[in-house]
Amino acid sequence: LHNWVCTLGSDLAGFNVTVPHKIAICSFLAGLTPEAASIGAVNTVINRRGVLYGDNTDIDGFLSGLGSMLQNQLPGSHIGII
């Protein structure tokens, strides 16, 4: 993973990262967005002038889906997420 990021990653505008590399790639990047840092995992790498930064868009997708699902729930409902 490290060799790939160092040799090919900087030639790309960006790329996606999947399991099992979402956590490991964090240590090879120049920085993380607040979302990626709080989750501790990266699924999107952005190349900014040859410097690679990590982001995580999983939480946006999760919260969007959760919000859509909860719109149909009655106010005052108790919901548990495991």
Q: How far apart are CA 72 and CA 63, in angstroms?
A: 15
Query: Which of 22, 32, 36, 52 is flagged as catalytic?
Result: 22
Is residue 22 among the annotated active site residues? yes
Q: Pull the structure tokens for residue 43.
A: 């699924």
Tokens 């699902």 found at: 69
Which residues form the catalytic set? Answer: 22
